[in-house]
Structure 1
Amino acid sequence: QAVPRIIDDFASADDVRVVVMTGAGDKAFVSGADISEFEELRSTTEQIEFYDAATSASSAALRSLEKPLIAMIRGFCVGGGMAIALAADMRISADDGQFGVPAAKLGLGYGYGGIKELMNLVGPSYAKEIFFTGQRFSAVEAEKMGLVNRVVPVDELEPTVTKYARTIADNAPLTVKAAKAAVNEGTKNPEERDLDGVAEMVEACFKSEDYKEGRRAFMEKRKPRFQGR
């Protein structure tokens, strides 16, 4: 329930250009809901609706962040944890990553939105395999499916993610923002796409001081210093 507030803080912080999310410790990114609590917390219609609303709000907040969001994954990334990872723009996993959605093994219903998020990444065939079997997949298998961008040894995970984050942070923020918006709109149903909003972001890039700085830096053969305006 704290996720929307935390994301709002990152969104409003001018000195934050990239957000990295990871699990506490080295056992799991997010291991999903505690199944032993289902009888107490998810057994009635009202409880299910409350739980679903809270998780949907968290996922929506993550997806609404206009800044790049990277999931740095170790260990278990299953069930609701995988849904959180899907809300990131990039997923980089250590080679000990384990992925899966065990809904079919528990009798849970899984809504269209969550399935569509997965299908956008891995396609219909792999999405069906993941949901039909309820099995766990290794990080290497997840990379093959397109579920994660990169798989690296455990001791290289943090340096790799840090390198990606710094590379992105050094680029023009308005350009990155516009590119993220364009890709995100492209995954929506045609009638839901805000193409005018994307066009405005692209126009803002060309009108920005960063565009002038990028041209100057190129001509002067130096690294640009982008300000996000």
Structure 2
Amino acid sequence: MTEGLEFVRDGEIARLTFARPEKMNAITHGMWSAIAEIVTEVEADRGLTALVITGAGANFSAGADISEFRDLRSSAEGAATYDKAVHAAVAALSGMRKPSIAMIQGNCIGGGCQVAVACDFRFAEEGSRFGITPAKLGIVYDFISTRQLVSLVGPAHARYFLLSGQLVDSARAREIGLVNDVVAGGTLEAFTLDFAATLNSRSQTSIRGMNRIIEKIQSGQSESDQEIEQIRADAIHGADYAEGVAAFLERRKAAFTYR
């Protein structure tokens, strides 16, 4: 495993942890480069149904490791190479069919917030702080991450984050839709894993099909296409649909089998 990352399987839930607590879990180029491969591994593993991303210690992540920038981003070519790794990580996360959940405590800033926004769900502990700070570094945020942020919080709030570099607390983040929910200190892990268990109990055919359709809508697609119609047709003819309908009619909990 790449230095600075920890990856474990807990039953049907995968957990990826930024593990540099002494550096507030700052994300190195090597860590960025490893994320896409880990996502591919999770997607391919039929025993896993969701990915939880979190940080070790008191913080989710304070962002990219700026100490590397002088060496790795000192030229246009170097910046392009670095950005390619970041883009691959963000694209892999946002393109997942299996659900991804950011479990956030402490600082979730810059690249850390970029990772969280790329996930399907964001749950935060009270007292967490959020910000995206390219304007403090003379960087222009990339297109895919900007689009994701605008889709999540709207253009006015996206401008607030990107142009000012100001931080907001967890209550404000919940208010503007940056996070799905905010929970009391000491309850974040239990809350997140309980939600992951709920997702695990649902039809994976439904979850993965709808996640793909949402991805297409977020990328600007406004009408159905052949892939979407095939996803829906396959679901109708699948075992999960038969089991879901039977369970509803028989007034019992569905036992979905597709993984």
Classify the TM-score, shorter chain.
Answer: over 0.9
The correspondence of residues 147-162 of structure 1 with structure 2, limited to 5 A, is 147-162=178-193
Q: Say whether 1:108 aligns with 2:167.
A: no
Pair 1:61 & 2:92 matched? yes
TM-score, structure 1 as length reference: 0.94
Matched, 1:227 2:257: yes
Amino acid at match of 1:3: I
Q: Which residue of 1 aligns with 2:239?
A: 209
Superposition map of 1:1-229 within 5 A: 1-25=33-57, 27-190=58-221, 195-228=225-258
Q: Which residue in the other structure is 2:25 paired with?
A: none
Report the Cα distance in structure 2 between the residues aligned to 1:174 and 1:222, rounded to whole angstroms. Answer: 19
Which segment is superposed worse, 98-107 or 35-44?
35-44
Q: Deviations over 1:156-196 (max 9, x none)?
A: 111111111111110010011122112111111238x7732
Q: Say if 2:118 and 2:145, in contact at 8 Å, map to a contact too.
A: no
Structure-1 separation of matches of 2:100 and 2:55: 14
**Aligned-residue CA RMSD (Å):** 1.6
| Alpha-carbon contact 1:185-1:195 (below 8 Å) kept | no
Deviations 1:52-104 (A, max 9, x none): 00111111111221101111111111111111111100111111211101211
- Alpha-carbon distance in 2 for matches of 1:107, 1:148: 26
Q: Deviations over 1:187-207 (max 9, x none)?
A: 11238x773212211111110
Between the aligned partners of 1:106 and 1:18, the Cα distance in structure 2 is 34
Q: CA offset at residue 22 of structure 1?
A: 0.9
Identical pairs, percent: 34
User: Aligned-pair distance for 1:129?
Assistant: 0.8
5+ residue gaps, structure 1, are none
Q: Which runs of 5+ in 2 are unaligned?
A: 1-32
Match of 1:30, SS state, is coil
Query: Which runs of 4 or more aligned residues in structure 1 lie more than 4 Å from their structure 2 counterparts after TM superposition?
Result: none
Matched residue SS, 1:72: strand
